[in-house]
Amino acid sequence: MTTLDPSSPAIANFSNARILKGDGSWPFVAYVIGDDIWLIHVPATCFGGSDDPEDDGSTASGVSTKTPGVLGCSLPMDARGKNFSAAAHKALDGCPIPWLPWKTMVEVTCGAITFQVPLIDDGPAKWTKNAIDLVQAAARKIDPAATSRNFGRNVNVRIIGAAKYAPIA
- pLDDT tens sequence across 137-159: 999 999 999 999 999 999 999 99
Q: Could you give the domains of the chain?
A: 9-164 (2.40.40.10)
Convert the pLDDT of each residue in 35-83 to its tens digit.
Answer: 999 999 999 999 998 888 888 999 999 999 988 899 999 999 999 999 9
The pTM score is: 0.91
3-state secondary structure the chain: CCCCCCCCHHHHHHCCCEEECCCCCCCCCEEEECCEEEEEEEEEEEECCCCCCCCCCCCCCCCCCCCCCCCCEEECECCCCCCCCHHHHHHHCCCCECCCCCCCEEEEEECCEEEEEEEEEECCCHHHCCCEEEEHHHHCCCCCCCCCCCCEEEEEEEECCHHHHCCCC
